[in-house]
Structure 1
Amino acid sequence: MTDLSDQPLDLNNPRDRKQARRDLVWGDHGFLRTRFPNRHDLGGGMCRENQPSPERIALLAEEGIKTILNLRGPSPKGFYWLEKEACEKHGIALINFRVYSRDVHTVEKIRDARDLFEKIEYPAMMHCKSGADRTGFMGVLYRHFHMGDTIAQAVDSELTLKKLHVKQGKTGMLDFFFNDYLKYAEDHDITFMDWVETIYDPADVKARFMDHWTGNPISELLRRE
């Protein structure tokens, strides 16, 4: 397991800075995001995008963004340290809140997401790698908890092909999770959070999804998230 307590790259060292840029542009496919941030506004001062470059963060700062939620979590790779440096330079709070595109989430993680949306300073931006799946999952939670949308409304808005989410891959586990609640709620008068805290079983949801999932090699090969 990588120890991230110390920065693995010294960005004051020209060689390490070049390595960090290579990590961002080539290793993390940043060249595909140069002119396409996959930007979508959710309302209430929140937007979602793909992994930002330092140049993109500078533009976000000019726009007035106060908080960036990094849904990928910390990383030893250069793209993370360039993001951290740029946020510090421009006075943006960087919050690491790791979620997953191909797995279920704990009750605690969903509860923490709800609380996080009430604590951060807005305007804010949240991102994963491609701004497709993890931002889609968190976009649903944001719209429901912070904006008051129903889960059905939020899913229809955020987990869509228009925003690059592909439900035919293992990323369809996100859709399956929310749909499991919606099916249960058809016959029970229960809120989403009450369902999460009293009915939801992450291991069961994952097992049932994998039982019916037939696989999508193209989606898994692309690994866009």
Structure 2
Amino acid sequence: MHTPTTMRPWRRVVTHYRALVQEHGWVRLLLTHNFHAVGRQAFRSGQLPPWMLARQIRRHNLRTIVNLRGPLDTPALILEREVCAKAGVAHLDIRLCSRDTHRPALLLEIKALLETLEYPALFHCMSGADRAGFMATLYLHWVEGVPIERTRQLRFWPFWHYRYAKTGLLDHFFDCYLAATREHDISLEQWIRHGYRQEAVRGSFRSYPWLDRLVDRVLRRE
């Protein structure tokens, strides 16, 4: 967790400019509709502009913001932490991957976090399509008890998630778990602890190169 410092007015203007231009924030302004409720007490989104984040905090009485981009000091995240500090909202940084598998230890840390953080909470990545969907799936399953196959958080519409690009590794992780449940009655946590093989899951997935180019070069997903 970062402790934000108060910025001088001129530095705040520069930071807003960098977030809008250098971080392609103007592109994300076109996706500000990608804000969705997740179950009873959570929400998911992309990187929101600071004024929109402040509005959503007030509207939904958010108590925790979970940034899935990691502990970066980008202009957008600097502004986000400042908004959270002013609103008295907890801000947590977790580094998730949009095109790779995750270590078992990290997944178990996420489970513990989801079971203890203060709700309502917002999970966000950069675009709100991939990592936010992965986290929302884990939240629904581990906190609200929704079966994985019914979570429906990794979809093209309305989240703009591409299952057949490298971002589909997130879907594939859950597909591998569901395949394991057809052989044994095993919980997701048990599978992560005893059956999940990160390299095997990664190696058994194939994406479409043209979709990878779309996601990486055109959409510029993080």
TM-score by length of 2: 0.90
For residues 120 and 101 of structure 1, the distance between their equivalents in structure 2, rounded to whole angstroms, comes to: 23
What amino acid sits opposite 1:128 in the alignment?
A: C
- Superposition RMSD in Å: 2.1
| Aligned-pair CA distance for 1:11 | 2.7
Which residue of structure 2 lines up, in the alignment, with residue 32 of structure 1? Answer: 27
Higher mean C-alpha displacement, 17-26 vs 141-150: 17-26
2:145 corresponds to 1:133: no
2:144 corresponds to 1:150: no
2:14 corresponds to 1:19: yes
| Aligned-pair CA distance for 1:73 | 1.3
| Aligned-pair CA distance for 1:10 | 7.6
What do the CA deviations read for 1:177-205 (whole angstroms, capped 9, x no partner)?
11011112112221111111101011221
Which residue of structure 1 lines up, in the alignment, with residue 100 of structure 2? Answer: 103
2:199 corresponds to 1:203: yes
For residues 57 and 213 of structure 1, the distance between their equivalents in structure 2, rounded to whole angstroms, comes to: 34
For residues 2 and 88 of structure 2, the distance between their equivalents in structure 1, rounded to whole angstroms, comes to: 21
| Aligned-pair CA distance for 1:13 | 5.7
| Aligned-pair CA distance for 1:74 | 1.9
**Structure 1 segments of 4+ aligned residues over 4 angstroms from their partners:** 4-7
Q: How does 1:2-81 map to 2 (within 5 A)?
A: 11-12=7-8, 14=10, 16-34=11-29, 36-63=32-59, 64-81=61-78
- % same residue: 34
What amino acid sits opposite 2:177 in the alignment?
A: Y
Kindly indicate whether the alpha-carbon contact (under 8 Å) linking 2:2 and 2:81 is maintained by their aligned counterparts in 1.
Answer: no
Partner-residue secondary structure (3-state), 2:166: coil
Which residue of structure 1 lines up, in the alignment, with residue 207 of structure 2? Answer: 213
What do the CA deviations read for 1:68-99 (whole angstroms, capped 9, x no partner)?
00011121221111111111011111111111
For residues 44 and 27 of structure 1, the distance between their equivalents in structure 2, rounded to whole angstroms, comes to: 36
For residues 50 and 5 of structure 1, the distance between their equivalents in structure 2, rounded to whole angstroms, comes to: 20
Which residue of structure 1 lines up, in the alignment, with residue 121 of structure 2? Answer: 124
List runs of 5+ in structure 1 lacking aligned partners: none
For residues 190 and 98 of structure 1, the distance between their equivalents in structure 2, rounded to whole angstroms, comes to: 27
What amino acid sits opposite 2:25 in the alignment?
A: G
Partner-residue secondary structure (3-state), 1:213: coil
List runs of 5+ in structure 2 lacking aligned partners: none
What amino acid sits opposite 2:137 in the alignment?
A: V
What amino acid sits opposite 2:109 in the alignment?
A: D
For residues 134 and 2 of structure 2, the distance between their equivalents in structure 1, rounded to whole angstroms, comes to: 28
- How many residues align? The count is 216
| Aligned-pair CA distance for 1:29 | 2.3
Partner-residue secondary structure (3-state), 2:204: helix
What amino acid sits opposite 1:129 in the alignment?
A: M
Kindly indicate whether the alpha-carbon contact (under 8 Å) linking 1:39 and 1:50 is maintained by their aligned counterparts in 2.
Answer: yes
Higher mean C-alpha displacement, 182-191 vs 171-180: 182-191
Which residue of structure 2 lines up, in the alignment, with residue 168 of structure 1? Answer: 164
Task: State which of 184, 190, 200 in structure 1 corresponds to 2:186.
Answer: 190
What do the CA deviations read for 1:109-139 (whole angstroms, capped 9, x no partner)?
1111111111111111110001000001101
| Aligned-pair CA distance for 1:219 | 2.2
